[in-house]
Amino acid sequence: MNLSLAEWAALSCALIWATNGLLLRTQSEHVTPGAMNAIRCAVAGAAFWLALPFDSIPLVGLLEVTAAEWIMMLAALSLGVALGDTLYLIAMKEIGVSRTLALTGTFPLTTLFWQTLLLDAPFNPTLLLGSALVVGGLFFLSRSDAAGERPVRLQWGIALSLIAALCWGFSATLLKPATVHMSAIQTNAIRMPLIALLLFVVRVLPSGNERLRGIRVRSLLIVGATGLLGMGVGAYLFIYAITQANPAKVVTLTSSSPLFGMLLAAVFLGEKITPQIALGMALCMGGVYAVL
């Protein structure tokens, strides 16, 4: 298989995102989802601030950002990363890495839905086919076939995963018009620290800050590394691939992340991959491919 450098970057991005999910799952018993997300965003924000001097677009361009664009940016970061990522972390704790990555991996489909609804994008008939495949995948992923698996927690985790995918799709839709006067580095240098602050005020402080004060150094380093790896290196590889190759092919390659996640979870976490889970994941991925 003769892949270009950009296509290898897209596959590497998918592997990084899957590895991130694995690392975060190992720390879900030690750090609350809100605190975990705040730490990740703070570390990623610091990395993007360090990258600002090397950005090709000058900061003076931010003066052209309108009030409407700032509002859309705030809405996108609140719903996408602050809420969507937190729900994703909770879901992973409830139903495991494999199911969560398969369900949240449908966000390209939800992005297309929001773009059609809000940005007057032309309706894509394959959206119906993709939705049908995802519904089929949901049927198999929602079946409780593991010993000791609690149906209520399973349904809760699936619901959170789907809501996270909807949040990510909505956020991606808003970011397009919100960032016309910002570079990718500037956008992330602004939104990551704001998300970290928002999560700290809304999620960590009201809980008494107990879990954040008691976090182990090892957990802090691992969670911080996922912020640098996933939101830093992963995001850079994704943007590089998008600028150098066909966007549809890039999104298709990065949407293989659930497959990497399933394999990693089976090997390192001992998650049981039943035929039903594998079939459900295949249908969800097929739903994503159908609309690309």
**pLDDT higher at 53 or 121:** 53
Tens digit of each residue's pLDDT (9 = 90 or more) over 9-18: 888 988 998 9
Angle (deg, nearest 10), helices 235-244 and 5-26: 160
Residue pLDDT, tens place only, 211-267? 566 678 888 899 999 999 988 888 778 777 876 776 667 777 787 888 888 888 888
Name the band, by pLDDT with cuts 50, 70 and 90, for residue 280. confident
For 17-132, strand residue ranges (E) read none
**Region 263-272: what's the mean pLDDT?**
86
Burial of residue 23, with CB atoms counted within 10 A of its CB: 0-12 exposed, 13-18 middle, 19 or more buried:
middle
Please classify residue 247 by burial: count the beta carbons closer than 10 Å to its beta carbon, then call 0-12 exposed, 13-18 middle and 19+ buried: exposed
Report the 10 Å Cβ neighbour count for 224.
Answer: 17
Q: What is the pTM of this model?
A: 0.82
Sign of CA dihedral 269, 88, 121, 7: negative
List the domain boundaries for the chain: 5-290
CB 182, CB 65: distance < 8 Å: yes
- What is the average pLDDT across 122-129? 77
Our CA angle for 134, 159, 100, nearest 5°, is 65
pLDDT at 1 over 70: no
pLDDT of residue 87: 93
pLDDT, position 213: 63
Percent of the chain with pLDDT over 70: 91
Q: What is the DSSP string of 57-81?
A: S-GGGGGG--HHHHHHHHHHHIIII
The two three-digit tokens of residue 233, written as one number:
């290196």
For the segment 145-150, the average pLDDT, to the nearest whole number, is 55
User: Which pLDDT score, from 0 to 100, does residue 186 have?
Assistant: 85
What does the alpha-carbon distance between residue 250 and residue 165 come to, in Å, rounded to a whole number? 19
- Do the beta carbons of residue 235 and residue 50 sit within 8 Å? no
Amino acid residing at 252:
T
Structure tokens at 189: 């240098």
Q: What length does the chain have? A: 292
* Distance (Å) of CA 271 to CA 92, 135, 154: 12, 23, 14
Rounded-to-10 torsion of CA 270, 98, 150, 165: 160
What is the model's pLDDT at position 106? 85
First vs last C-alpha separation in the chain: 21
3-state secondary structure of 119: coil
pLDDT digits (tens, 9 = 90+) for 64-106: 888 888 888 888 888 888 889 889 999 998 888 888 988 888 8
Residue 5 has pLDDT above 60, yes or no: yes
Please list, in sequence order, all residues whose beta carbon lies within 8 angstroms of the beta carbon of residue 154, skipping any fewer than 6 positions away. 94, 95, 142, 144
